[in-house]
Homo-oligomer: A and B are copies of this chain.
């Protein structure tokens, strides 16, 4: 049997190799690099082919495809969301992604994206906070200490200069896990026993809890002036974390409005609730933070362009490392019209 041609082989990054790649570069450097790739793609937001994710819902969860393209590369992510999985020892969210060449339609990278999504979500949060949080922000409240919490904390350190994380979770074991994981990273962690205690003195308030319900993790009277709220956990219909009064007092920044109005914190608000597309802050079309006392709020749900940036990054970084191997994913007969002949010859 003849060996497949180069073009028929697709570089694959397994979970194991993704972890090796991340340690090879260094976690904080990866977060900084990802933030730079994402910021660059937000700058050229208008040229992307944008579509809300394509979702297949069931009683217990959702499976989504998130495609986008910049005209040269095409990327998509497969991601599921099954809140009940945790109780069965499975991940709530797993993901993988693919990057392809628009000119040929041939895939050029297949990669795990569970870890990569955690990294790109944190890098996006910190990139946005760098532009919107009060100058000199050094303390973050981290409410919800699940799978995303350490990534958020390290990204805020690497990109915004945060040095102290005030941790709270209704499950104390989650907080202890997070504090233990952050030991030795250079971050000071403070274990708190209530959300109120966690936000004391914090400049950045990050909410990232997992319950699929309209919860009130932050109530209106808890949030004072001059903070940046990084709202991660409200990310699908029926799942929000903030009291609507907070949204009314904040300047709200979003990724892609058609998706955020359905999935984000602003699903609680009227359809004409005023929001700002964050990419317009980067391009200078709209102001970001304009006063010290302002409350800025990033209502993040995760958008396909962030995954695209992450796929570009992995493609660029992995190629000169051993952290990938080739998959024989594409049939590539010598004569493109002779697929059947290739099949027949494989018999011998």
Contacts and interface: CB of A to CB of B under 8 A. Distances in A.
Interface of A: 1, 4, 7-8, 12, 14-16, 19-20, 22-23, 27, 49, 51, 54, 56, 58, 60-63, 65, 67, 69, 71, 74, 76, 78, 80-82, 85-86, 88-92, 94, 96, 98, 100, 102-107, 112, 114-115, 118, 145-147, 149-151, 174, 177, 181, 327-333, 335-344, 346-347
Contact of A115 (B20, B65, B82, B339): B339
A146 to B, nearest CB: 5
Dominant SS at the A interface?
mixed
Contacts of A145: 337
Given A23-B346, A96-B329, 5 more contacts: A7-B90, A54-B65, A85-B336, A112-B328, A146-B337
Given A71-B58, A330-B94, A336-B147, A80 B106 contact: yes
5 contacts: A61-B105, A80-B100, A86-B336, A90-B104, A91-B331
B4 A118 contact: no
Contacts of A91: 330-333, 336, 339
Contacts of A96: 107, 329-330
B114 A339 contact: yes
A92 B67 CA distance: 21
A56 B147 CA distance: 33
B69 A67 contact: no
A245 to B, nearest CB: 30
A12 B106 contact: no
Contact of A330 (B56, B69, B112): B112
A62 to B, nearest CB: 8
A194 B19 CA distance: 60
A340 B181 contact: yes
Contacts of A115: 331, 339, 343
Give 9 closest A-B pairs by Cβ, nearest first: A80-B105, A114-B331, A150-B340, A14-B328, A19-B346, A147-B339, A146-B337, A94-B330, A82-B105
Given A329-B112, A344-B181, A106 B86 contact: no
B338 A147 contact: yes
A112 B331 contact: yes
B347 A23 contact: yes
B86 A337 contact: yes
A23 B340 CA distance: 12
A332 B88 CA distance: 12
Contacts of A344: 181
Contacts of A51: 54
Contacts of A54: 51, 54, 65, 67
Nearest to A154: B340
Contacts of A147: 336-340
A171 to B, nearest CB: 9
B343 A58 contact: no
Nearest to A71: B58
Contacts of A4: 15-16
A221 to B, nearest CB: 29
Contacts of A100: 63, 78, 80
A317 to B, nearest CB: 16
B105 A346 contact: no
Contacts of A67: 54, 56, 65
